[in-house]
Amino acid sequence: MTSRIFRILFCPTLWICCLWGVIFPPCAFTQGEYSIAELQFLSGAWEMSVPERGLTITEHWMQPLGGAMIGMGRTVVGDQMKSWESLRIIQRETGIEYIAKPSEKSEETTFKLTKLTKTEAVFENPDHDFPQRIIYRLIDENSLTARIEGTRDGQTRGMDIPMKRSTEPNAK
């Protein structure tokens, strides 16, 4: 009996496993600090309108459900749709991803969530041509700014898109 206890207490494999679990807990390998439910502030219909330029940018986001948010956006100038975008935010074991498929691109681009507060979400992809960063900031319950930024042609660039919440059930 004593030799059995001795073997258990001094088993190198047992101690290595215990030490490994302390140094590298399972949560260290995932981005479990963020939940897609915290992106609820993006839900709804958002619009930026610049009548003097005939410009309307709209973005719609479904509420987080099933580990995902589905979104879409479009840009209209005058009476012509100039571009559209299919959007998804997905909760994965490795973290939250923002996936965009603009109308002028044949492939999707994925951005990783790198920062999340109650009023701000930052998604990044340093390998993308432009933008490398997409930022959403909730100003108040009816105002949201979307910002794209990064480097293009060796210069740092950015564009803010200030939007208002649309209260129409069938928003533009």
Q: What is the pLDDT along the chain (172 residues), one digit of tens a residue?
A: 555 554 545 555 544 444 444 444 443 333 468 999 999 999 999 999 999 999 999 999 999 999 999 999 999 999 999 999 999 999 999 999 999 999 999 999 999 999 999 999 999 999 999 999 999 999 999 999 999 999 999 999 999 999 999 976 555 5
**Nearest-angstrom CA–CA distance, 133 and 111:** 8
What does the pLDDT read at residue 167? 76
Its pTM stands at: 0.79
Structure token digits, residue 112: 């990783």
What does the pLDDT read at residue 96? 98
Q: Who contacts 106 (Cβ-Cβ below 8 Å, separation ≥6)?
A: none
What does the pLDDT read at residue 169? 58
Three-point CA angle 73, 79, 85, nearest 5°: 15
Dihedral sign (CA 70, 57, 144, 101): positive
What does the pLDDT read at residue 26? 41
Which residue's entry shows tokens 């129409």? 168
**Nearest-angstrom CA–CA distance, 68 and 5:** 50
